[in-house]
Amino acid sequence: MRVMVVMVGVVQATAFYGVNLKHKNKEHRNAYATVYMGTPRDYEFYVATRVLIRSLIRLQVDADLIVIASLDVPLRWLRALEEEDGAKVLRVENVNNPYKGQQRFKLTLNKLYAWRLVDYDGVVMLDADNLFLHKTDELFQCGQFCAVFINPCIFHTGLFVLQPSLDVFKDMIHQLETGKANPDGADQGFTGAYFPDLLDQPKYAAEMPIVMTPSVIFLGIITMTRLARPSISKLCYRNTDKSSSLMQTGLKFIAIWSIIVAYIVPFAIIPRTIHPLVGWTLYFLGSVALSSVAINSFLLPVVPILVPLIGVLGSLLVMACPWYPYGVTRALAVFGYAFCYALIAWGSMVKVTARLQVSLEKRTNFPKIG
């Protein structure tokens, strides 16, 4: 009995205070890791974890595959992960969650164990519901900590990159014990509070010159098209007795595609690494600028043309709302918004095409070609 007590004490101490990978046959400098927690939905996590690992194996990633598993996860499933999938399983105690009222994500603080994987240069931490379609080993080029933003104010811990550090891990545990502020009582709120500089602008100062260039161009387009609008009809329009059906169809096609391009081009040219608030602001500015070309060239109504932009803004606000209790509620809210917006979008499209048809049928509004 005494030996058993000593062994249990050693296991618990090792699980919480350190993870030694030397006996796990470390093969690579970096690792992809996921957390497998003992919950009433164990089998769902088991299947999802195996699918995640198999997707990484299929891509032949240059990294070890780590599963950080709670002590209460069934051993037969952990053996399958090791023997059949080639993952390295590390069994740990659940990190104590001091935030009362959090039940659904109570055990997600086990992700903090990723900072204990100090045998690796970098670790990509993943939720089990990720599925990899392409090799992404470039993620390991990240610095101390990188994460994907779920909205402009909160980053998502379903996928983040870190440099393991015992000092950081110990400090995190200390912050938990001292009751560090946590907006959601889970890993996402804790890491967001622990790495607040990730949400600050100074981190992105080096990319501001890249942002300023398209901003100046977009503002220039808006100014030029607006100033040139009074003279467009005099320079580009002429009277004609009859317009051909083919010409009208071609001009409609050009007008519609110019509107579509106005919403695609800014999205394609804006750097993905800039802060979300800056990126989306630049996207809206670019869309307005390019849309102004179609508005002033074809004398189209402003509000219907900008309805897609309003729709994008609304969808961002609906998805970013922090008061959804469950993911299903968020999905239903997005679906409801999409249904309502579709009616508005259809109405604006009808109005734009009708206005375009009227403009083309007027002799004074028929564009001069050549």
Same domain? 155 vs 221: no
Same domain? 56 vs 110: yes
Tell me if 274 is assigned to some domain: yes
Of the candidates 104, 156, 159, the one whose C-alpha atom is nearest the C-alpha of residue 131 is 159
Give SS3 for 99. Answer: coil
Tell me if 9 is assigned to some domain: no
C-alpha to C-alpha distance for 160 and 246, rounded to whole angstroms: 54
Average pLDDT, the chain: 80
DSSP state at residue 118: T
The residue range of the domain holding 211 is 206-228+248-365
Same domain? 164 vs 261: no
pLDDT at 315 over 60: yes
In this prediction, residue 121 carries a pLDDT of: 94
83-116 pLDDT tens trace: 999 999 999 988 888 877 666 677 788 899 999 9
Cβ neighbours, 10 Å, residue 277: 15
Alpha-carbon torsion angle 191, 193, 198, 200, nearest 10: 170
Listed ranges 106-110, 237-241, 292-296; the one with the highest mean pLDDT: 292-296
Q: Chain centroid to CA 215: how far?
A: 23
* Residue 32, domain CATH: 3.90.550.10
pLDDT at 162 over 70: yes
Same domain? 171 vs 224: no
**Number of domains into which the chain is organized:** 2
Tell me if 312 is assigned to some domain: yes
Do the Cβ atoms of 191 and 260 come closer than 8 Å?
A: no
177-225 pLDDT tens trace: 887 877 777 888 888 888 876 555 445 566 677 788 888 999 999 888 8
Looking up tokens 């023997």 gives 83
**Mean pLDDT throughout 31-58?**
86
Tell me if 288 is assigned to some domain: yes
Same domain? 87 vs 125: yes
Same domain? 214 vs 178: no
Do the Cβ atoms of 182 and 189 come closer than 8 Å?
A: yes
Same domain? 167 vs 214: no
Tell me if 262 is assigned to some domain: yes
In this prediction, residue 41 carries a pLDDT of: 63
